[in-house]
Amino acid sequence: MRQLTTFIMALTLCCSAAAKSGRHRTSGNPILPEFHADPEVLFSEQTGRFYIYSTTDGMPGWGGYYFTVFSSADLTDWRHEGIMLDLGTDQVPWAVGNAWAPCIIERKTDSGWKYYFYYSGHNPKNNRKAIGVAIADNPTGPFTDHGSPIVDALPEGQNHGQQIDVDVFQDPASGKFYLYWGNGYMAGAELNDDMTSLKPGTTTLMTPAGGTLQDYAYREAPYVFCRNGLYYFLWSVDDTGSPNYHVAYGTATSPLGPITVAADPVVLIQDADAGIYGPAHNSVLQLPGRDEWYIVYHRINPAYLAKDKGPGFHRQVCIDRMTFNADGTIRRVRPTQEGVAPVKVKQRKR
């Protein structure tokens, strides 16, 4: 019996080692433990590491009230770096919860590195969602909130929707910074140099018109990046609790549009045969100095697909490669269970 027990323990250790070795071949999906959603990915030139910020999920009614950050050296092994902003404390004086859908940008200033973290929270003064900003010298914090929302009202000409799902982008052509946001509409505006206010007169309604729930009808979650001088705008279609929740895109020749919807607009959509549902609300990562791209997104945990189990707030963060055709159009991404292989990034001197 003792020999059998020893054999079983040895076999278990062997299998564990093999599994660990296999895990290092690819990241596996999901890449973060437990429930997270609305992921924002950042490569920090200061630290040479990757970071993911997200909505803390798994709480009824999207009731998460704090943000966490995870870091990785290679996109496969992710380390929990802790809570970096807590709307349940006096750290954020204007918001009481609904800590949703953040974004972040790294900026080199005369005084050193700065990180501007934009997010949405519930403002009890007017009983609606608003967008705030917190600032730090390191990607994991500590972050100090600006003290008041940066966006707290619908754009002029828009009569419905929420001020959530924020994205921040630096135009490589001009060096200017832009903010994008909106559920039910898409808006964009240039940021002032302080990064905590919008430049007057620049707020622009950019909502892509038309489409259906099967292709590109805009719902939420704008995300912007630039490749070869062309501006790409990605957004999410349908409801976040729907298996059909997916990513569509269009392009423009300037950071504030107008947007031309792609001829084949679907970037990422469910694969029921593979047990993958509702893959959307994404961010995009380009490896520094390389034309190598990744899409980071959330999907619904398949054990929570039934409406009474809360599919909209039982989501998990995943990563897959994103590639382009020769004409610059985005090839449809195949969502996987395997994820991506480890990457190595050489830091650029600045």
pLDDT in tens, 113-147: 999 999 999 999 999 999 999 999 999 999 999 99
**What's phi and psi for 21, nearest 5 deg?**
-60, -40
**Tens of pLDDT, residues 151-205:** 999 999 999 999 999 999 999 999 999 999 999 999 999 999 999 999 999 999 9
H or E, element range at 20: helix 2-25
Give the span between the Cα atoms of 203 and 260, in whole angstroms.
19
pLDDT tier at 25 (50, 70, 90 boundaries)? confident
Tally of CB atoms within 10 A around 96 = 13
Q: Is the pLDDT of residue 102 over 70?
A: yes
Dihedral sign from CA coordinates of 147, 151, 154, 160:
negative
pLDDT tier at 223 (50, 70, 90 boundaries)? very high
Helix (H, G, I), strand (E, B) or coil at 180: strand
The answer regarding whether domain 2-322 maps to CATH 3.20.20.140 reads: no
Contact 190, 171 (CB under 8 A): no
**Tens of pLDDT, residues 272-321:** 999 999 999 999 999 999 999 999 999 999 999 999 999 999 999 999 99
**Tens of pLDDT, residues 228-277:** 999 999 999 999 999 999 999 999 999 999 999 999 999 999 999 999 99
pLDDT tier at 19 (50, 70, 90 boundaries)? very low
H or E, element range at 5: helix 2-25
Q: Give domain limits for the chain.
A: 2-322
Mean residue pLDDT of the chain comes to 93
Provide the 8-state DSSP code for 214: T
Provide the 8-state DSSP code for 173: T
Give the span between the Cα atoms of 180 and 98, in whole angstroms.
19
Q: Which candidate, 117, 98, 237, 97, places its Cα nearest to that of 166?
A: 117
**Would you state the pLDDT for residue 13?**
31
Q: Is the pLDDT of residue 14 over 60?
A: no
pLDDT tier at 4 (50, 70, 90 boundaries)? very low
Give strand pairing partners of 321: 294
Q: Is the pLDDT of residue 10 over 80?
A: no
66 residue type, one letter: Y
pLDDT average, residue stretch 338-349: 86
**What's phi and psi for 109, nearest 5 deg?**
-115, 175
CA 215 to chain centre: 21
In terms of pLDDT, which residue wins out, 50 or 61?
50
| Strand locations in the chain (E) | 36-43, 50-56, 66-72, 79-86, 100-109, 112-123, 128-136, 144-145, 167-170, 177-181, 187-190, 204-205, 220-227, 230-237, 246-252, 260-268, 277-286, 293-300, 315-322
**Would you state the pLDDT for residue 11?**
33
Contacts of 212 (CB under 8 A, 6+ apart): none
Q: Catalytic residue numbers?
A: 38, 220
**Would you state the pLDDT for residue 169?**
98
**What's phi and psi for 330, nearest 5 deg?**
-85, 130
**Would you state the pLDDT for residue 347?**
63
CA 111 to chain centre: 28
Q: Is the pLDDT of residue 65 over 80?
A: yes
